[in-house]
Structure 1
């Protein structure tokens, strides 16, 4: 099912790596959440490929096999610039992609559309936002970032220790029998400890995602009000980040957007209820963008 990997160039000349599933004529660009890697999308990508799409799962800057930012540039607008760069690279080949973005990836893809200069072609022809809206619950943000920070720099003595930490954070999920999936999100350091496959400066550096949130939030509201591509918002029914009220606010700003609430899921919707999530996404793509 996997067709291989591709390398893209980001907005700062940074190298970005993507896995490709399927060989369909229409592309979907999948952008993971903060602290994840492209491997978070594998099951969704296989489903999309089976439906005739070419699914490109991208490691965003500082994550997975993509290049870390030597200047620590991890602002939301930097991620958005990368997303737009990749979208336009695909468009130059004659295939304007649909963007599917979870959390950080959703912010990046929404901003990429909102920051498109007047008169320029949009980098995406459709958008799926996975449990992300401009107005996030700060308690949920603190909880998620707290987990990410807990072992970001010191790492773990073993993969099993990392699995214990994940199980404690996600007690609603059955513990996987194999550690192979988790292994893809870790790397073995020279000191023998396993660390997450993302740059800790993403959260704590001088130009991190937390550095200028108020400006980014204002730009996200602008991007939402000016959306001009078919859009689907998928919310986890027990989301820590997107309240029902915040979802309603988004839909009021983007009245043409579709909405699905996945009752079985928390913030990591695809990981919690991938079959339900994939049904919602493939149905939307068939109706609006097939």
Structure 2
């Protein structure tokens, strides 16, 4: 293949190559133009790659030769080895890819269209949540005498107090923290191109002001808000902080604060929503603040029932 053989981190599978150049180009266009969200692109690329590797190992000669039985067999094996949500996501990726190939007249029908995924119903999210005292402990444990400390406190504070997704937080520019009606606001660019604006909690306002002014980035309005640290300098660069780096930072900060809960980037969104609801907030307002299209999504982050369950367990007085 030529330079068309790769785009970003996606390699064209031999099964795609075997179907001809038209199939290869259409395959690359699926990731390059049809899927715009980088996180979805990465997840679907991994899912499609795993499926095509499975097909290759099971003797499928070309992507055009994939049949419903192949897709069903893959999903059946995957369901036995992985969780139901993982199997459903993999099936969705394969189904969307073949829809794209059908429209491009690479294959006549979608072999995944008739395959059903495993049943799965979720009423309670699995994201680990911090107790408000733990969240406070984590924030207070950060040494803010350095640029990296100011950055880390501001980023964690943003996710806690504004319920921001990590992708939206890391996508912010300095100009997305702005003053309106004598109060600092934040502008978040959420999934699907949605723009979400909300005023800052007074703690978040203090963290952001300290970070922008203490690191000298306040005047770089078009630059990224959260940045990497230069190797050996300890100073901020102009490179946006990658999501993987943010995750590694959170792990270090949790260990440094003595927090044993296994947390991730999404923990702070759930922590903020739960704390808000515990203090009399409504699920409707929480959904608006989190930029959820439905309160059903917000309810997955509502972990108030954890405390009730713990209280009931302690009634077993033996």
TM-score, normalised by the number of residues in structure 2: 0.25
Larger Rg: 2
Question: Could you say which structure has the higher helix fraction?
Answer: 2
Q: Which has the higher contact order (CA 8 A, sep 6+)?
A: 1
TM-score, normalised by the number of residues in structure 1: 0.26
